[in-house]
Amino acid sequence: MKTGMNILLVGVGGQGTILASKILSHVALAQGWDVKMSEIHGMAQRGGSVVTQVRLGEKVYSPIIEPGEADIIVGFEKLEAYRWTHMLRPGGTMIVNDQKIEPLPVLIGAAAYPEGIIEAIGERVNSLTVVPALDLAAKLGNPKAANVVLMGVLASVMDIARETWDAALAARVPARFLELNQRAFAAGFDYRDGKEA
């Protein structure tokens, strides 16, 4: 981690990006890194586009990630991943939840939800993992845990010990949801392996 790392979490208000970013920053802190995290809140519940920027490293100044400088983007929704793809650095990693949430202009027919989003992203991004996070979470008993599934996938591409993530999960998730979230995390963590196998 000499060079630092920029991680962008993008999604739709209400998808649980905030919990995800809390887990991530907990992990970073446990590593002894400097961390800055920036998000604009207030509208989370009103369905707007939500972006959380997490920067880690020995010393972090700006809380903001510049376009073309994100090392990893986690898209909690396809269109949001697409909207922010330009933020990824060349060679960066992208994790996209294969979920579609139509924005109001699309719902009322004033705009179209772009076709072939995943393919378009795939043409630009070499390291792309598409995750059916909603299905995976639903299978475990609660689609709301999709955010934690995605954190599991993120963990699997980052060079941080699994125990650190487990500890962060235990610290940040309310006890009564912990078991479910641990399983959701594990499903995400093993997802890429499973695919390659």
Report the interface residues with other proteins, using CB under 8 A.
Answer: 12-13, 25, 29, 34-43, 45-51, 60-64, 66-69, 79-80, 82-90, 102-114, 120, 124
Token digits of residue 5: 């790392």
Q: How far is the CB of 142 from other proteins (least distance, A)?
A: 13
> In this complex, which beta carbon is closest to other proteins, that of residue 82 or of residue 191?
82
Q: How many CB atoms lie within 10 A of CB 189?
A: 19
Instruction: Classify the C-alpha dihedral 97-102-104-105 as positive or negative.
Output: positive
> In this complex, which beta carbon is closest to other proteins, that of residue 4 or of residue 166?
4
Alpha carbons 162 and 169: distance in angstroms, whole number: 11
Residues sharing a CB contact under 8 Å with residue 97, sequence separation 6 or more, in sequence order: 11, 75, 76, 77, 78, 81, 131, 132, 133, 134, 146, 150
Q: How far is the CB of 165 from other proteins (least distance, A)?
A: 17
> In this complex, which beta carbon is closest to other proteins, that of residue 103 or of residue 132?
103
Q: How far is the CB of 1 from other proteins (least distance, A)?
A: 16
> In this complex, which beta carbon is closest to other proteins, that of residue 79 or of residue 131?
79
Alpha carbons 117 and 121: distance in angstroms, whole number: 6
Q: How far is the CB of 197 from other proteins (least distance, A)?
A: 32
Q: How far is the CB of 190 from other proteins (least distance, A)?
A: 27
> In this complex, which beta carbon is closest to other proteins, that of residue 67 or of residue 141?
67
Q: Which of 28, 77, 23 is nearest to 50 (CA)?
A: 77
Q: Which of 89, 92, 106, 109 is nearest to 12 (CA)?
A: 106
